[in-house]
Amino acid sequence: MKVAAIQMVSAVAREANLARAHRLLAQAAEAGAELAVLPEYFCVMGQRDTDKLALRESAEGGMVQGFLGDAAREFGMWIVGGTLPLESEEEDHVFNSSLAFSPEGECVARYDKIHLFYFDNGVERYDERRVITPGIHPVVFELPSRDGHTWTVGLSVCYDLRFPELYRALARHGAELMLVPSAFTRTTGAAHWEALLRARAIENLSWVVAPAQGGVHENGRQTWGHSMVVDPWGAVLAQQDVGEGVVLCELDANQIERVRQQLPALSHRVL
């Protein structure tokens, strides 16, 4: 199955971001991708954290959800929409949610980001807890590919990457492919991004597809980029450093079976 990890440098205006995303999805479809994954905050990278509140959508639908469903139908492609703000029970908070759409335009899975980013090195400070309500449950969905294999796909977002227990839970639910749409900062990404992605792939003997924000944003934030695809043995097969682009890679379902037979570490788990 060919997949596309879409890298963006999202701006403040939602409509402009959706237009950029549409062009990149079109490139992915033209290249033959069956699954395209957008980065975290693909639809908005606001001037302030609270900008998300004005753009929140209900679980029943909204502009961004409509865009994702329409694009999935238009291109006949599975699309995972990085993240978008969905209504929370708290008036001054939203969920940071990743939605998966089938080629028929149906939303088949929703994952609300569980782990909320906090970082303060005296120069940069981020605290997602101020406006985001954490999710609770790991989520997987089934993706029948054109070659006849049905992939079990696990969903995660950005800061989740630092918590291996989530990915082990996804593996216990049968995940063969784990998605990590992200907006890693330049500081943390330079230090840890690739090491963490390769570790999650190696630990769970699973494919990892990680689309990212990558560049200098309109609001001044710098994101690390380096969207990549990692195979179940931990090898980086495709990546892009910074700037908008489409990272393409062919995933081999048989490779998962081979490495899990050669090294049945998942069955050796004790704790």
Residues recognised as catalytic: 40, 113, 158
Residues facing 12 on adjacent strands: none
Cβ neighbours of residue 252 closer than 8 Å, sequence gap 6 or more: none
Helical spans, DSSP H, in the chain: 14-30, 51-54, 63-75, 164-172, 186-204, 253-262
Cβ–Cβ < 8 Å for 99, 107:
yes
As a whole number of angstroms, the distance between CA 198 and CA 180 comes to 12
Burial string for 34-48 (b: 16+ CB within 10 Å, else e) reads bbbbbbbbbbbbbee
Tokens of 169: 């839970």
d(CA 192, CA 184) in angstroms, rounded, equals 10
Place of tokens 């999935």: 72
